[in-house]
Amino acid sequence: MQPYREGNCTFTSGHIAGVDIRWEDALIAVELPQAAPIWSSAVYHGGQWTGNRILNQMVHYQFNCADPIEYLRLTCVEKGYAPEQTVGLMTAAKVSHASVAEQDADECSLLCVTTAGTSNAARAGMPRRVFSAYEPLKPGTINSILIMDGKLSDAAVWNVFMTATEAKCAALSDLGILDSETGRIATGTTTDAIAFAVIDTGRYEPVHCYAGTATTLGHAVGQLVYTTVYESVKTQHEA
């Protein structure tokens, strides 16, 4: 579903209590009910962080900022968010076309929200033009934010990222999205990002040890990421 395109500026999860999504101008804010561990490739507080909010800030596709970390910190201050509690991503895609999907799965609940654009679609492993990662930021174009209520091992966290990436690749393949430089099916874009927050409300007791595609957790992650990437990419050029 695409709540904003349906006329809604907010979305309240029906599966994870206290999780809300808000659209504010060119920004999506995913609010968590409590401080939680967040693993991400985010610009702001990327890596492993503890916070109660994940932002996805839309910027122009030619955005060129020497200090994107400070840019996002100032965005937090402007919006009244506590910077130290916030993880921030950037995207050149339309946040209005964000796709949201959620479900109760085997001993966990999951929610995923994805923004996507494929103007810089790319196929991993093929020769191409590249840029140095120590130069100014290039904003992401497929950004997924995944929220889980439940328990999982450290190893399963990294399994989640692998499965989510495979699901993204599958969606792009099924949509026939091509790498413009090679003419081959794209596996992503040149600037994708992901964030994964784990909330433990006490609703579930078992600890998920793995999250590959054959596990119940991995299967659910794959379904949600596939669904949201597919919808947001398919509708990216619509009004």
**CATH top class, domain 10-234:** alpha beta
3-class SS of residue 82: coil
Strands 27-40 and 193-199: antiparallel
The pLDDT score that the predictor gives to residue 130 is 82
Report the half-sphere exposure of 209 (CA within 13 A, side-chain side): 0
- The pLDDT, as a whole number, for residue 136 is 60
Please list the pLDDT of the chain residue by residue as tens digits (239 residues): 999 999 999 999 999 999 999 999 899 999 999 999 999 999 999 999 999 999 999 998 777 777 899 999 999 999 999 999 999 999 999 999 999 999 999 999 999 999 999 999 999 998 888 877 766 656 668 999 999 999 999 999 999 999 999 999 999 999 999 999 999 999 999 999 999 999 999 999 999 999 999 999 999 999 999 999 999 999 999 99
Query: Are the CB atoms for 177 and 233 separated by under 8 Å?
Result: yes
Nearest CA to 32 out of 85, 83, 72 is that of 85
Q: Are strands 142-149 and 193-199 parallel, antiparallel or unpaired?
A: parallel
Beta-sheet strands, E only, within the chain = 10-12, 20-24, 27-40, 47-58, 86-91, 99-105, 108-116, 121-122, 142-149, 151-152, 188-189, 193-199, 207-208
d(CA 40, CA 38): 6
Q: Model pTM?
A: 0.96
Domain locations in the chain? Answer: 10-234
Largest distance between two CA atoms of the chain: 48
Integer Cα distance of 237 and 226 in angstroms: 19
CA 188 to chain centre: 13
The pLDDT of residue 137 is: 59
The pLDDT, as a whole number, for residue 63 is 75
State the residue for tokens 């130290």.
84
Q: Please report the pLDDT score of residue 66 as a whole number.
A: 79
Under 8 Å CB-to-CB from 67, ≥6 apart: which residues? none
Q: What share of the chain is helix, strand, coil (3-state, %, to 5)?
A: 25, 35, 40
How much is the pLDDT for 41? 97
Angle at 152 between CA 231 and CA 124, to 5 degrees: 45
Q: Which pLDDT score is estimated for 206?
A: 98
Task: Report the length, in residues, of the chain.
Answer: 239
Q: Which of 66, 71, 77, 74 is nearest to 90 (CA)?
A: 71
Using DSSP's 3-state secondary structure scheme, residue 165 falls into: helix
